[in-house]
Amino acid sequence: MRARLPSDPEDLSANRTMKRGLAILRAFRPGFPVLTNGDLAERTGLPRSTVSRMTGALVDAGLLRQLPGAGGYAPTAACISLGFSALQSLDAVRQRVLPRMQDAAEEYEVSVSLAMPDGDEMVYVDTFRQARREKLLHLEAGARLPMDLTALGRSALAVMETAEREARMASLLARQERGAAALRQQIEAGMRHHEQHGWCQASWVSGTIGVARAVRLPAHGVLSFNCAGSVAQMTQGKIERRLVPLLAELAQTAQGAAA
């Protein structure tokens, strides 16, 4: 067998195929359990012909199933198994922080969530929601949020390793047809606030406020804790006196559990 160089065309092709397959799997999320090839092409930006080939390969691999007569695809039990394996890897941390997150959501009448970065998005791992639902999006575990616009995402960027943060920033800004400079300023302001004060704030959905604190753990990567609620619920006094200390407590607990 011939030795392969780092730039071997076969390796590059395999890597490209794998990334496309993962992009298709990432397109499935809570609220969108069944997607057609057209849906997947729109969500991933891949050509329709490429999507068709990839969904066929993923069906053959047992990761997707095609629904009879619907023309759509859904993840199989193999993906469920992968998801639970990912959750189990966080068991030590989750067992320590989840009771406090639930209690705090009830006590402060806000949502309290734990999320992790995945590509250019943040994925909810756990969330307890006691805020008024007419004021908030009803998001469940597994939901994806934009990294660039949320406190969850900006806090995560603040604690990433430099190379990873620069790569994520380049990817996030490259997607902006206009307003990239203004978005960079907003993200960098959030990261600076996190570095100086241990938390940051953003308003992704009109009428709501989110505050977040992230921590990087050697065995788990970046975890971000978030509190969110309506503007009426998230007063500055409440944020600074109640929620910021809560976020610090959750981050410290996660670090202790992972030690």
- What CATH number does the domain containing 66 carry? 1.10.10.10
Per-residue confidence at 11, pLDDT binned at 50, 70, 90? low
The reply to whether 54 falls in a domain is yes
Global pTM exceeds 0.85: no
End-to-end CA distance of the chain: 44
Check whether residue 232 and residue 145 sit in a common domain: yes
Residue 158's region, left for phi above 0, alpha for psi from -120 to 50, else beta, is alpha
Check whether residue 171 and residue 200 sit in a common domain: yes
The reply to whether 111 falls in a domain is yes
Domain that holds residue 115: 89-258
Please give the Cα distance from 3 to 90 (Å, whole number).
38
The reply to whether 1 falls in a domain is no
Q: What pLDDT is stored for residue 12 in this prediction?
A: 67
Check whether residue 57 and residue 115 sit in a common domain: no
Check whether residue 95 and residue 159 sit in a common domain: yes
Q: What pLDDT is stored for residue 79 in this prediction?
A: 82
Tens-place pLDDT, residues 108-162: 999 999 999 998 999 999 998 865 444 444 567 778 899 999 999 999 999 999 9
Residue 142's region, left for phi above 0, alpha for psi from -120 to 50, else beta, is left
Burial of 24 (0-12, 13-18, 19+ CB in 10 A): buried
Check whether residue 223 and residue 253 sit in a common domain: yes
Q: What pLDDT is stored for residue 112 in this prediction?
A: 95
